[in-house]
Amino acid sequence: MSGQAAQAAAKKACGETGRGMNLRQLIAGNWKMNGLAADLAELEALKRGLAMAPACDVLVCPPASLLARAAEAAKGAFALGGQDCHAEARGAFTGDISAEMLKDAGASAVIVGHSERRQFHGERDQDVAAKARAAWRAGLMAIICIGETEAERDAGNAHPVCGGQIGGSVPKDATAANTAIAYEPVWAIGTGRTPSEADVVAMHAHIRRCVVERLGPIGRDVRILYGGSVKPSNARAILSLDDVNGALVGGASLKARDFLEIVGAGMPH
């Protein structure tokens, strides 16, 4: 399908399923296991760069070790999030962090089910759903990640795999206020490769249909972010695609200059 044909198909799907095209975009940065105290200077630079209110919502998810100091640096100029949380609020879980702890340190959101958690920590869909519930319990927005591997895409299974992850990872009582979904094809994360525009549009339309099917009409307003090798050079093209309601950005969120360029490509809708 050409990019134009895919856009037309997505518009039709949105007309059928809701108004996923008109949502304020969210640009979220995931620092992963990167960042020492010296890197807080990037957040100061980000704050300076955001002095003129951006057209979209901006969130940075630094490592938990920096969260409280990052909140100090951000001073309300942008929101902060965690990268993972335990399903329980407290207890004997050495090395883990709860959603309540993230909230206490200044977070308003948390990423759950990132493919690196699924891959390296064996997290299953039901674990991700429990973490999403934990996020809500603490008053955080959950950014629930889904995405297919390269082998799954090559086998023609990308859509059913993502549909299955939505069914397993997104609790049925999710709302647009407490949940966003990040579509992150695993093979695009940190590789410099991205799906074609037509593939992104087709997948986002599919995710929209699955979310509306699962949540009912409120699924129309749940933001669907794209993640995987978003950078200043491709952000505008990706963020202008139908039903792309923002981006989850890894490597390119580490430097304020790059991240600001991506934020600048965000749309008010």
The correct pick among 178, 251, 256, 265 for binding ligand PEP (CB under 6 A) is 251
The reply on whether position 189 binds ligand PEP by CB under 6 A is: yes
Burial 237-257, CB ≥16 within 10 A → b, else e: ebbebbbbbbbbbbbbbbebe
Tokens of 265: 């490509």
| Residue whose entry in the numeric block shows the structure tokens 């979209």 | 56
Comparing C-alpha atoms, which of 67, 157, 162, 133 is closest to residue 105?
67
* CA angle in degrees (0–180, nearest 5) for 148-150-155: 90
Choose which of 138, 230, 260, 262 interacts with ligand PEP (CB under 6 A). Answer: 230
Pairwise CA distance, residues 170 & 125, whole Å:
8
Amino acid of residue 251: G
List strand residue ranges (DSSP E) for 56-194, in order: 57-61, 79-82, 109-112, 141-146, 179-183
**Min. distance of Cβ 184 from ligand PEP in angstroms?**
5
Whichever of 152 and 184 has its CB closer to ligand PEP, that residue is 184
Catalytic residue among 42, 116, 184, 197: 184
Q: Is 184 a catalytic residue?
A: yes
CA dist., res. 118 & res. 132, Å (int):
14
Residue 250 touching ligand PEP (CB under 6 A): yes
One residue of 15, 139, 160, 190 binding ligand PEP per CB under 6 A: 190
Stretch that binds ligand PEP, among 59-67, 184-192, 203-211, 215-223 (CB under 6 A): 184-192
Q: Which of residues 5-34 bind ligand PEP (CB under 6 A)?
A: 30, 32
Is residue 143 close enough to count as binding ligand PEP by CB under 6 A?
Answer: no
Is 266 an interacting residue with respect to ligand PEP (CB under 6 A)? no
* The one catalytic residue among 114, 159, 204, 206: 114
How many CB atoms are closer than 10 A to CB 96? 14
The residue within the footprint of ligand PEP, chosen from 248, 256, 262, 263 (CB under 6 A), is 248
Q: Shortest distance, CB of residue 183 to ligand PEP, whole angstroms? A: 10
Between residues 13 and 46, which has the closer beta carbon with respect to ligand PEP?
46
CB of 73 to ligand PEP, least distance (A): 22
Number of neighbours of residue 22 by Cβ within 10 angstroms: 14
Stretch that binds ligand PEP, among 84-92, 119-127, 131-139, 225-233 (CB under 6 A): 225-233
What are the angstrom distances between the C-alpha of 15 and each of 19, 20, 116, 181, 224?
A: 7, 9, 34, 20, 16
Q: Is 114 a catalytic residue?
A: yes
**Token pair in block for residue 140:** 């955080």
Closest chain position to ligand PEP (CB): 250
- Tokens standing for residue 74: 């951000």
What's the min distance (Å) between Cβ of 11 and ligand PEP? 26
What residues act catalytically? 114, 184
Question: What does the binding site for ligand PEP look like in residue numbers (CB under 6 A)?
Answer: 30, 32, 184, 189-190, 227-230, 248-252
